[in-house]
Chains A and B, each alone.
Chain A
């Protein structure tokens, strides 16, 4: 991959100025950018911005854009706050060595259909925080058009949900055929489904249905069917739309039951 100019900005403002005024391309781990191998005239390596952190801030946990997937996988802070679902979701992303490189910011920014992390962020009601403090809910961000440049500083994940993550892969470290995360806090439920193979989306109908019930676990099968009926699925080499739809109902059911047991 040809890169013309390569710089390490020393502040978020400096990085933002280069991105917005000169069309510079921000790089997290650079692994996906390297895999797609498009020439870049001006690259900004975000390594010196101090964005590699995972901080417990009381009601939420903040994950810096440069935290690696391995940092997230083995974080004790995240493990205790979110029932271990981050390590379950990320433990099959290729191998430890790749997870040592790829970043939270790159994963969110890329809005990849196959992303395991984004499915979890979506179900937990995470917020994407940009360089200037502006915010967007993860749900809005994943659906927003991709035309304007942006710089992600961190992702904030509210604490207090019981959650479950489920996925199916052909081989243990392949892309998921489908992934699901269900989270619940008080009477509110959030059901997110990713790798459809398009990017993760919430099933509002399944969530609303679960919120109406005293014993939502008893209604897990119905919630799975509602999510499968509501969301769109597509074909690719890993599975057909129909297969994914079937899988969706099963994985949502399992996730609802498991999340319910963790309340």
Chain B
């Protein structure tokens, strides 16, 4: 099938099996910042924005993404850079493999709440990010980094 996808503002046209997970297609196209672990939608590592909505790219088949806009963590620009600075400052990462998916999800959360004119409280943060697993840390660092990141929008 002929697939056309815009990734981080760049258009790609390719011949691909529509059943290939989007995460694999993105990595083949060179977007290696998209990480994959469980491959079934459980861990959140592969999260990207599909038309601005966060989805697990391992569970989206490539045919479904055709004609749509994909944003990886690199496409988030300054929003992701600011969050990365908070992640570093709070010493969140150990292996760091979960960070790209976490950052995409955190920025999506911030945008969604800002659209509603608010910012998430602690419970809402935990609920929104429950689908992002980290096998190294105990999530406390993630929460500290998020509090620091969201502080700037108060």
Contacts and interface: CB of A to CB of B under 8 A. Distances in A.
B18 A3 contact: yes
Nearest to B39: A35
A97 B40 CA distance: 12
Q: Which of B53, B55, B58 has the most CB of A within 10 A?
A: B55
Interface residues of A, number: 28
A6 B129 CA distance: 32
Interface of A: 1-3, 5-6, 27, 29-31, 33-35, 39-40, 43, 45, 47, 91-92, 94-98, 100-101, 172-173
Chain B residues touching A, range: 20 to 34
Interface of B: 1, 17-21, 40-42, 44, 47, 53-56, 58-61, 63-64, 105, 127-132
23 contacts: A1-B20, A1-B61, A6-B63, A31-B41, A34-B61, A35-B40, A35-B41, A39-B19, A40-B19, A45-B64, A94-B41, A94-B42, A95-B130, A95-B132, A96-B129, A96-B130, A97-B47, A97-B55, A97-B131, A98-B42, A98-B55, A101-B41, A101-B60
Given A35-B59, A40-B19, A100-B55, A30 B64 contact: yes
Given A29-B59, A94-B131, A96-B54, 17 more contacts: A2-B17, A27-B64, A30-B59, A31-B56, A34-B19, A35-B40, A39-B19, A40-B19, A45-B64, A47-B64, A95-B130, A96-B130, A98-B42, A98-B131, A100-B53, A100-B54, A173-B131
A45 B59 contact: no
Contacts of B47: 97
Nearest to A70: B53
Contacts of B20: 1
